[in-house]
Structure 1
Amino acid sequence: MDDSDENPSTDRTTVGNQDEPAETPEAGVDTVDDEAIVDGEAAGSGDQADNAKDASDAGDADDADDAVHADDAVEPITLERFYEAVEAEGQSVLTAQQVARRLDTDQSTARDGLDELAATEDLGRLDVEADPVVFYPGEMNDLATQERVVVFPSRREIVVDQPTQYTRAQLAQFAHLVDTTGSDPGTRGYLYRIRQEDVWVAPFEDLEELLGSIRSVLPRRYAHLEEWVTDQWKRAHRFRLYTHEDDYVVLEAANESLMGNVADNHLEDEWLRAPISDTEAWVVESEIAAIKRALYEAGYPVEDDRDLESGEELDVEATTELRDYQQEWVETFLENRSGVYVGPPGSGKTVAAVGTIAAVGGETLILVPSRELADQWTAELLAHSTLDEDDVGQYHGGQKEIAPVTIATYQTAGMDRHRSLFDSREWGLIVYDEAHHIPAPVFSRSADLQAKHRLGLSATPVRETGSEEEIYTLIGPPIGADWDKLFAAGFVQEPEVEIRYVPWRDDAARDVYVSATGRERRRLAAENPAKIEEARYLLSKHPDKKALVFVEYLDQGEELADALDAPFISGETRHRERNRRFEQFRQGEIDTLVVSRVGDEGIDLPDAELAIVASGLGGSRRQGAQRAGRTMRPAGSAEVAVLATRGTSEEEFAQRQMRHLAQKGVRVRETNVGE
């Protein structure tokens, strides 16, 4: 964004690294007799000492793979080899001794080769009295603007500067983005970590495909890392559930030792009816969810190959042609019969779900967070399928209709007195919209629905409570396209995201903040009066754009609505009034809405061109992605401005929320709003 003279600002070129919450320790590993499984290492703490050790590990861990034998010809020191040493060392200014160690040659050879490169100006050379001679790229900018990959194999971390779209797309298939730094060209860096669950759900047919993807982006092969990935891949294919020809469910282990040492140690006796063989056991069907959860926590996700019920037949066909990636989602789901569609808002998860309902062809229960979403689902079903109004019912506080396709709110479905909703029909498919938002009562009820096809929809299937294993085991693994792929194909436009650090302009407000503590401080920072002025400024810069202003607190929402002369929609707004305002916004009759959390989850506002997040930064990363996602659509540019009070915890919260978008390939820049 360009800042005018009336609102001066300075761009920050780097984002201060903030440590992520400590990783959950990996599940304990059981040793088996005929195929010993090696314990994974705990993730490092990330302090400087570990970084220094790991930087050494990055080059030394697997020297045996690339060792240069004494009788081999000495390989010359080229500029490309110098860059290899830079990558391994993790810094761009090196001594001849460091280069020699990294390239596995003697120091004299390294020094001579580096001197030759320095003479051609490909390298810079600096000789400081009392210090060793150091070498660095002749054009530091050349190194800064090209892709560099540094690997820390013992921690399974990968640092990439200026990654290409290809590299980011490959890494997204087997690694988790932990952090990003920088915003301007030459300063952008990404930190990835490969976790066990990333390997378990990697979208590859076999291990060799996965290893091939890893090798395609790393500077060389790392034996220790590949051994760990191989072990995790095998773990994901060690247990499976299948339906016996006599119509009961069997748990099968890959070998006798796994059944004896892993299953026996982690499964309760009452979950198994009887052993069938040394590698198979007849299981209690009502305990299938508990079995899957226990083995997942032990480090062994279960493949579910059971014959699931299709329910009463549903006469329905999809009337909208699916995009290629949506069709891939549906085909993957039909093969697995469970899973969570993961994609940015605007990618058509609901349309893909309608296609899935038609493909399954059984009566369907759809669970949603709000009545507004129930209305939207009804409209989507009628628009994209052959269903008519008599085929679709809603079950919530406003009305209670059971139909071949029934849409219910989580709140109502979680109540014991409405248990008949689950039991009254032979559902063939359960759809969990905004799957990351499922409340505990529905999770526990879902344990009884394991015999059904189960489909979740989510932009980001990660719960801040750490219960993603519940999503994985009770619904299914993630299914989805890489966001970069959708951006590149033009199906969804990448928004411009900016964190704007707003100073205190009111001394009295600043003084109250300084004297406050705890939760009150957070609220005062969120309600910084300067944010009203900043919101006005941003709207004045984009007078033709339809804008959403998100707030956490009702008082602030009302104050902003008055200042901006815009309607305020909150949980206290009557259902009919909400729908009227949303429709006015869609039709362009009003161009600005101030919304509370009611706008975070799935509300269909596809034409928003500007999102201003005025408060709510203490919420989850998923919430940040949802709010930014309200601007994602197939055409036109959209902007997201996140307002954080400078010098408060909001700075860290803003960076944490936006990392979720950076993980999906969205560029995030930062600006200090001028005093």
Structure 2
Amino acid sequence: MSTGPLIVQSDKTLLLEVDHPQAQDCRKAIAPFAELERSPEHIHTYRLTNLGLWNARAAGHDAEQVIDALLTYSRYAVPHALLVDVAETMARFGRLRLEKHPTHGLVLVSADRPVLEEVLRAKRVAGMLGNRIDADTVVVHGSERGNLKQALLKLGWPAEDLAGYVDGEAHPIALREDGWLLRDYQREAAEGFWHGGSGVVVLPCGAGKTIVGAAAMATAQATTLILVTNTVSARQWKDELVRRTSLTEDEIGEYSGAVKQIRPVTIATYQVMTTRRKGTYSHLELFDARDWGLIIYDEVHLLPAPIFRMTADLQARRRLGLTATLVREDGREGDVFSLIGPKRYDAPWKDIEAQGWIAPADCIEVRVTLDEGERIAYATAEPEERYRLASCTPAKTAVAEALVERHRGEPTLVIGQYLDQLDEIGADLDAPVIKGDTTVRERQRLFDAFRAGEISLLVVSKVANFSIDLPEAAVAIQVSGSFGSRQEEAQRLGRLLRPKADGRAARFYAVVARDTVDAEFAQHRQRFLAEQGYAYTITDADELLA
């Protein structure tokens, strides 16, 4: 028996002893293929899933590497059946391949004829396939490339897409690199994407995902469609591309609610792309407006369903997804895998922090107690009302105000979900509140004032979760969140991770009502960050306010 930090169980769960001296090395070794499920203080639970193993396989990890990691760090003998299952699951990837045939166009090729026979009889693929060319090759209708990959993934036979890509309309794009250089991991991420042809790059907030996109554009040398979460993000992308590349402002178009410009590089918002008029998504025609050579999906974990449907028809275009976390709360990670592409690069947050590219962060959970009247109201409330009651307790407002006072003068964000709660905090602190009905111009004015140090405190709703660049933000106080959203927790911490001019650590406070669903959701939200190596210290609000 070894003394490793990992216990590997036959039900595909992995138990990691957090305090073990080898825990960090083990976490890094299993992160490419195992998903964190629970993260209490001492033992973290990971799970092996088919999609996790296939993502690892597509990223270049083979079964031998996965098995070696399990054997190296396991405290006890690893169940033999599990090792066999890992090898066989990973071997399913690529048993079917999509290729270009010189005379028949797109074809599905099998390296294992019984698998092809099984697939040909599946109802899921009915209508997607044409004539059989030979025993191992069948024609695929060109428009079904994406749909077929989705169907095959659901059948348990993920296809390796080797059918190639169209170059699209050429357009010169070069990185300036005057006064700055691509970081090693940014170059590796862009190269990993380009070598794979399509797929997802996972980097922490503040690590320069936009720069990875720019590097991919400079390699493609083609017209590019960039999809982003909101108008503020679109304008940040444009500013960054003008600063970092040879592109001029006139070459970059904005396609949003207010402006409809189609240029060689066009930046569109998910919101306008999914706007329906008379039951149709009229703006999805933008995908066909030019012969795009590259499509970039920013914050790919937020991709709306209509964009997935359109992306199924765009499999001949190179597609790059950018995100801080592949976690999707709707469970559609498989659609990202099959339609955007597998994970091509993933840098652990703590690795980037150790290199000095993102700020270290202290995560603190502050627990408040509902008073007796609130507890009775909570106990007798309908289940759907309980989270709001717990989230909006006045005790949280008092804690938020105390924390703002403690960090007076430091650039601070108070973040929440419930607008009446945020309005109250904003009024009490005499701080501006940014929410959904705040105009884009006013948002930009306030964000610019915050960046310039003219304002040191902002109260923000979930509109500031994504793609908002606030480099000097040093403190975040989260009073409520979107239930148990792990992706939101990661994005909110990400607001703080841009390196600080004075090298100080960031502080992320999550204010939580104990003995309520708020506490349960908080534990769920923290899972992703725990996987990245962030530990929450817990303090009582009474101690804080004393």
| TM-score normalised by the chain length of structure 1 | 0.75
**358-367 vs 200-209, which deviates more?**
200-209
Task: Report whether the alignment pairs 1:519 with 2:384.
Answer: yes
Give the whole-Å Cα distance in 2 for the aligned partners of 1:269 and 1:504. Answer: 57
The corresponding residue for 2:439 is 574
Cα distance in structure 2, aligned partners of 1:647 and 1:205? 43
Q: Report if the CA contact (8 A) 2:5-2:26 is conserved.
A: no
**Change beyond 3 A, Cα 1:173–1:418:** closer
The answer to whether the 8 A contact 2:34-2:52 is kept is: yes
Q: 1:346 pairs with 206, 213, 228, which one?
A: 206
Q: Tell me the SS of whatever aligns to 1:496.
A: strand
| Aligned 8 A contact 1:304 1:336 in 2 | no
Task: Give the corresponding residue for 1:67.
Answer: none
Q: Deviations over 1:305-345 (max 9, x none)?
A: 11201211010111242211111111111111111111110
Asked if 1 retains the 8 angstrom alpha-carbon contact of 2:15 and 2:43, the reply is: no
2:93 to 225, 231, 236: 236
Matched residue SS, 1:181: coil
C-alpha contact 2:92 2:156 (8 A) present in aligned 1: yes
- Whole-Å Cα distance in 2 between the matches of residues 332 and 246 of structure 1? 31
- Residue 255 of structure 1 is matched in structure 2 by 112
Amino acid in structure 1 at the alignment position of 2:239: A
Q: How much has 1:509 moved relative to structure 2?
A: 4.1
In 2, distance between residues paired with 1:473 and 1:443? Answer: 10
Given that 1:149 and 1:161 are in contact with CA atoms closer than 8 Å, whether structure 2 keeps it comes out as: no
User: Any idea what SS the aligned residue of 2:313 has?
Assistant: helix
The aligned runs of 1:618-629 (5 Å cut-off) are: 618-629=483-494
Could you say what secondary structure the match of 2:390 adopts? helix
- Deviation, structure 1 residue 236: 1.2
**Residue in 2 that maps onto 1:40:** none
CA RMSD of aligned residues (A): 1.8
User: Is this contact kept in 2: 1:316–1:361, CA < 8 A?
Assistant: yes
Deviates more, 1:425-434 or 1:236-245: 236-245
Question: 2:153–2:159: 8 Å Cα contact kept in structure 1?
Answer: yes
Question: Quick one: which of 197, 219, 223 aligns to 1:363?
Answer: 223
Report the alpha carbon displacement of residue 511 of structure 1 after superposing the two structures with TM.
Answer: 4.3
Aligned to 1:210: 66
* Residue among 480, 497, 516 paired with 2:363: 497
Alignment counterpart, residue 191 of structure 1, candidates 31, 45, 49: 45
- Whether the 8 Å CA contact 1:266–1:295 is kept in 2: the answer is no
CA apart distance, 1:528? 0.4
Cα shift at 1:510? 4.2
Q: Which runs of 5+ in 1 are unaligned?
A: 1-80, 88-146, 183-187
Using the TM superposition, give the Cα deviation of residue 628 of structure 1 relative to its aligned residue in structure 2, in angstroms.
Answer: 1.3
Q: Does the 8 Å contact 1:617/1:654 carry over to 2? A: no
8 Å CA contact retained: 1:617, 1:650: no
Name the structure 1 match of 2:6: 149
Equivalent residue, structure 2, for 1:285: 142
For 1:313-332, list aligned pairs within 5 A: 313-320=170-177, 321-332=181-192
Q: Which amino acid aligns with 2:347?
A: A
Asked if the contact 1:240–1:303 (Cα under 8 Å) also holds between the matched residues in 2, the reply is: yes
Q: Determine the structure 1 residue equivalent to 2:531.
A: 663
1:297 pairs with one of 131, 135, 154: 154
- Tell me, yes or no, if the aligned pair for 2:484 and 2:522 is still in contact at 8 Å: no
Return 477-486 or 570-579, whichever deviates more: 477-486
8 Å Cα contact 2:35-2:52 kept in structure 1: yes
Q: CA deviation at 1:364?
A: 0.4
How far apart, CA to CA, are the structure 2 residues paired with 1:513 and 1:269?
51
- Residue 504 of structure 2: aligned partner: 636
Report the secondary structure of 2:254's partner residue.
strand
Distance apart, 1:267 and its partner CA: 4.4
TM-aligned CA deviation for residue 591 of structure 1: 0.6
CA contact (8 A) 1:175 1:195 kept: yes
Q: Which residue of 2 aligns with 1:424?
A: 289
Aligned to 2:346: 480
- Give me the whole-angstrom Cα distance separating, in 2, the residues matched to 1:648 and 1:414: 36
1:629–1:419: structure 2 CA closer, same or farther, 3 Å change rule?
A: closer
**Matched residue type, 2:422:** G
CA distance change for structure 1 residues 160 and 299 in 2, over 3 Å: closer, same or farther? farther
| Structure 1 position 654, deviation (Å) | 0.6
Work out whether residues 494 and 666 of structure 1, in 8 Å CA contact, stay in contact via their aligned partners in 2: no
Amino acid of the residue matched to residue 214 of structure 1? L
Aligned residue in 1 for 2:35: 176
- Report the secondary structure of 1:448's partner residue: coil
C-alpha separation between the residues in 2 aligned to 1:641 and 1:297? 40
Deviations 1:70-102 (A, max 9, x none): xxxxxxxxxxx6xx5xx7xxxxxxxxxxxxxxx
Partner of 2:236: 376
Matched, 1:554 2:428: no
Q: Is the CA contact (8 Å cut-off) linking 1:156 and 1:225 kept in structure 2?
A: no
Find the partner of 1:309 among 156, 166, 172. 166
Q: Which amino acid aligns with 1:284?
A: H
Q: Deviations over 1:103-162 (max 9, x none)?
A: xxxxxxxxxxxxxxxxxxxxxxxxxxxxxxxxxxxxxxxxxxxx6332213434333342
In the superposition, the TM-score normalised over structure 2's length comes to 0.92
The one-letter amino acid of 1:162's match is: D
**Offset of 1:524 from its aligned partner?**
1.5
Which residue pairs with 1:95 in the alignment? none
CA distance in 2, matches of 1:354, 1:599: 23
